[in-house]
Amino acid sequence: MTNKLEKQIYYQPVKLEEMLRARDLRLARQKRLLSETGLPLLSMTLNIPGNVKRTRLSVLFFNNEVKRLKDVLKGLGAKIEHENILREKTGDEALFAIKGLSAHAVKRLAIALEDQSPASRLLDLDVIDQDGSQISRSALGDSPRRCLLCDQPASICARSRAHDTNALDRETKRRMMQAVAGEASARMAANASEASSFELMVSKKPGLVTMQSSGSHDDMDRFTFGRAQSVFYSYYEAAFRIGFFSEEYVSLESFEVYECRGNRASNRVKSDEHPAAIKTMPALSQNDAQKLRLEGIFAEQRMFDSTEGVNTHRGWIYMSGVLLAAMGLFFRGALGEDATLFEKSDTLKDRFQFLIIKVAEALEHVVNNSPFFEQVRAVLPVASEASGVRQEALKGFPSIMDTGLPVMTSVYCSLGSNSTEYDDAMGRRVFLALLGVIDDTTVTKRGGSLRSNTLRTFLLNYWVPDVRLQDDEWITAWIEALIKADDSSIDACLSLLELQFEEERLTAGGTADALAGTRLVNSFFRDITNMLLFC
């Protein structure tokens, strides 16, 4: 990863001579490709004002737009015979030779894409005919493109320098941020929806609803779950966007304090070791936390409306909201950070876990201080006495980060990240691993605290009989045992638990939520690498 990161060029000012040379080289490449293919060419660049043409934000926006262009060409039946992507400090460039559409048709498509959204105004899509001539908007009877800040033609404002460069820069960034947020929130919402569906489809979850059984529940089944899941998508998007657009920041030093308390000192990233790095990390403001709380209430009421009053996902609503808001914060922060801060996977994980804690703390604070949460405050235990998913969130979801993820990652490493054949077996393994470590209040609610303790003791004796809960390293031994176990042994243990849970009418909803949360976080780490680090 490091070598690829070092090749990226960001935030370097360019001179006029460099831009003119880049234009000449682009024209030469177009001429060469035209002679080689004899096909219409489409050139994509970005209209970025100022002397900095390449940032992490602009590159991500550019990559998204390249993907959209390829998608629409494929959907229209056209074929890209040749493509060339160039990444220089003068800006990203893409050049495509297109088969299956005439040059005029390609230009019509280019105009449609340039006019698709406010951010599309930043695209510069030039189309070159087979004879080497560039097809203009005016040649097709289209009006010239408008200025970013007023209704005048952009060319007039550019020649007269009608607007302040800083104002143009702010508007450009605003449009790119909106576009990137839209793409990212849709992606993360899709991941959250998939994670929730994944949890439902995993079989052999003692006491829980699966595709084959309603477990220990008389009031819900897979269809109830399906109806509830259908109403959460807008909540997922909202939670991510609240984090992404938060304007609050905390100092990097508080992250270092968190790492020390979490015994992660060996992996610490000190701010003075990275002078190029920013000194702060994004956080939720109280206003943002209030918005997130309210979005959670709306999602919960939609759930009750869809299930006729049955609570299928209350814990998941809270967990996914915290995770997605933290993902939004992380995403926003990573767009402005120096790439060297992301070279170590442990640092990436610790930074994300720190943001989870900050989101959870902000949610607790807003309940304690906002007057219209008075009734909620009356029935909700204070943070120091919180249990279940709230306690997990305030600790950074250690069950997910320290148990679920390592087990899930081990399966992906052995089977390949694209393998879907063993998803069910992987889900069962991760579920069992989580069941052994999580403070599942649904088990306690139905069976009492003693039954919760005996369950953990049973699991520990079953898999690591020489280890006791009092041992400091029992979780490490537990994880290693679950990773090394074969599928038949996992299934045999789950079958025993199914009999116990059925007889005692126990269920483990908190563990089910953590399984979905593990799936979501795993997807996020994959996407943050692909989308931000360009590896």
Q: What is d(CA 430, CA 447) in angstroms, rounded to the nearest whole number?
A: 23
pLDDT at 276 over 80: no
Find, among 462, 482, 287, the residue nearest to 399 by Cα.
482
- For residue 95, what is the enclosing H or E element? strand 91-99
Q: What is d(CA 49, CA 54) in angstroms, rounded to the nearest whole number?
A: 11
Residue 470 exposed, middle or buried by CB count within 10 Å (0-12, 13-18, 19+): exposed
Is 129:92 a contact under the CB 8 Å cutoff?
Answer: no
pLDDT at 270 over 50: no
Is 408:460 a contact under the CB 8 Å cutoff?
Answer: no
User: What is the arithmetic mean of pLDDT over 100-121?
Assistant: 95
pTM of this prediction? 0.91
pLDDT at 274 over 80: no
DSSP per-residue string spanning 55-72: -HHHHHHHHHHHHHHHHH
Q: Bridge partners of 83?
A: 96
For the chain, the C-alpha Rg in angstroms (whole number) is 26
Q: What is the pLDDT of residue 352?
A: 93
Top pLDDT among 181 and 349 is at 181
Q: What is the pLDDT of residue 528?
A: 85
Spatial neighbors of 94 by CB under 8 A, at least 6 apart, are 43, 44, 45, 62, 66, 69, 83, 84, 85, 86
Q: What is d(CA 462, CA 34) in angstroms, rounded to the nearest whole number?
A: 68
Phi/psi for 357 (5° steps) reads -60, -40
Say how many C-beta atoms besides its own lie within 10 A of residue 150's C-beta: 12
Return the SS3 of 98. strand
Work out the mean pLDDT of the chain and round it to a whole number: 88
Q: What is d(CA 60, CA 532) in angstroms, rounded to the nearest whole number?
A: 7
How many CA atoms, within 13 angstroms, populate the side-chain half-sphere of residue 136? 6
b/e burial code for range 202-235 (CB count within 10 A of at least 16 → b): bebbbbbbbeebbbbbeebbeebbebbbebbeeb
Q: What is the pLDDT of residue 265?
A: 35
Q: Is the dihedral of CA 95, 97, 102, 105 positive or negative?
A: negative
pLDDT digits (tens, 9 = 90+) for 199-246: 999 999 999 999 999 999 999 999 999 999 999 999 999 999 999 999
**How would residue 275 be classed by pLDDT, with cut points 50, 70 and 90?**
very low
**How would residue 256 be classed by pLDDT, with cut points 50, 70 and 90?**
low
User: What is the arithmetic mean of pLDDT over 396-422?
Assistant: 82
Find, among 505, 463, 504, the residue nearest to 484 by Cα.
463
pLDDT at 272 over 90: no
Provide the CA 79 distance to its chain's centre, in angstroms: 31
Q: What is the pLDDT of residue 413?
A: 76
Q: What is the pLDDT of residue 29?
A: 96
List the structure tokens of 235: 């909540």
Phi/psi for 126 (5° steps) reads -100, 140
**How would residue 338 be classed by pLDDT, with cut points 50, 70 and 90?**
low
**How would residue 509 be classed by pLDDT, with cut points 50, 70 and 90?**
very high
pLDDT digits (tens, 9 = 90+) for 24-78: 999 999 999 999 999 999 999 999 999 999 999 999 999 999 999 999 999 999 9
pLDDT digits (tens, 9 = 90+) for 154-194: 889 888 888 998 999 999 999 999 999 999 999 999 999 99
- For residue 22, what is the enclosing H or E element? helix 16-37
